[in-house]
Homo-oligomer: A and B are copies of this chain.
Amino acid sequence: MPTEAPPHVNRTRAGEAATFLEAISEALWEEMERDERVFLMGEDIGAYGGAFKVTRGFLDRFGPSRVIDTPISEGGFTGAAAGAAHMGLRPVVEMQFMDFVSPAYDVLTNYIATSLYRGAGPIPLVVRGPVGGGNRGGPFHSQNVEMAFFHTPGLKIVYPSNPRDAKGLLKSSIRDDDPVIFEEHKGLYRAPHCREVLPPDDYVIPLGRARTALEGEHLTIVTYGLMVHRSLDAAAELARDGIRVEIIDLRTLLPLDEEAVAVSLRKTGKLLIVHEDTRTGGIAGEIAIRMNERAFEWLDGPILRVTAIDSPVPFSGELEDYFLPSVQDVVTAARYLVEY
């Protein structure tokens, strides 16, 4: 009954460029082929292929015991995934939208994150799904969820910005012995400018290591996910005035690669953090205090941030665009800091 891989998980084997979404599908498919302990759980991921079709064709290939359609009960099936992980399986749980991880907040923070510490062993498990705004999804289908989990010792959080990283980081996450929250920005899923030919080999990208997305010297921008692209656009505009921005793509938010940030900050003396998530209590704060702790003397200006507004995500396009951080916001903040 093994079937041919459907086209969207076969781009790389066919030598074609893959979208971000296809990179995710490829990672899942290859890990399931490689390791029979890997299995999927989620709402309508089987026959229907998932709300975003990430797992289209998986049921035919891997069967219903490894592609499990769950009831609408995110807490319940995440808890069950933990139990299966205790028994040596490697569950990958899909949230139809990551906004719906909130009913699983209890089990993730109290049971799963504490397991290793409690002496109950590691819980290798990935919770993945679409996040982010810009798709007119309104307040309950557009959230970023990193800050719900960033404060919980025992979890890892990954948030890739491009297909290559998405595939390599998802493979690492699945192979990792710790529970990982894996965020996929909907705005990248099918973005044509994101499409790229992926390495043909079984590569992984290590968790906890940032990447320099652009080398520069006047200012460090620390960012991740879709905002890497906004920041690159801003950098292109700033470059026209001779401002050379260095962009650090965090890739993994927890553990945070503070070393990479500090090294860049030492070079530029200026730090701007850009995140799509809302402002107060966002990740920028933690980065700011860590750089105070270890790099204060190198700061030639305040650590600033460009973020969404402190509000739920609006439903209308005009409002959502206003709510989200824009390229212009990044340019304004960068100029201010460079001139500081």
A residues bordering B, Cβ < 8 Å?
75, 99, 102-103, 105-106, 109-110, 113-114, 117-118, 139-140, 147-148, 150-154, 254, 256, 273, 277-278, 280-289, 292-293, 296, 299, 301-305, 310-312
Contacts and interface: CB of A to CB of B under 8 A. Distances in A.
Give the most central of A110, A118, A139: most B CB within 10 Å: A110
Given A118-B139, A147-B281, 18 more contacts: A102-B105, A102-B110, A110-B140, A114-B139, A117-B311, A148-B151, A150-B280, A153-B278, A153-B280, A153-B312, A273-B289, A285-B289, A289-B289, A292-B302, A292-B304, A293-B302, A296-B301, A296-B302
Given A102-B109, A118-B312, A305 B278 contact: no
Contacts of A301: 296
A310 B102 contact: no
Contacts of A75: 103
A289 B305 contact: yes
The prevalent SS among residues of A at the interface is mixed
A9 to B, nearest CB: 33
A255 B105 CA distance: 24
A25 B99 CA distance: 37
Contacts of A282: 151
A151 B106 contact: no
Q: Which of A280, A296, A305 has the largest number of chain B CB atoms within 10 A? A: A280
A34 B110 CA distance: 39
A102 B152 CA distance: 12
Contacts of A305: 289, 293
A105 B148 CA distance: 10
Return the 8 tightest CB-CB contacts between A and B, nearest first: A285-B285, A151-B281, A296-B302, A288-B289, A102-B106, A292-B302, A285-B286, A147-B151
A311 B114 CA distance: 8
Given A102-B105, A151-B147, A288 B281 contact: no
A281 B286 contact: yes
Contacts of A277: 151
A107 to B, nearest CB: 9
Contacts of A103: 75, 106
A99 B109 CA distance: 11
A301 B292 CA distance: 8
Nearest to A111: B140
Nearest to A288: B289
A118 B151 CA distance: 28
A154 B278 CA distance: 12
A289 B312 contact: no
9 contacts: A102-B106, A114-B139, A148-B151, A153-B280, A153-B311, A281-B286, A284-B289, A285-B289, A296-B299
A272 to B, nearest CB: 11
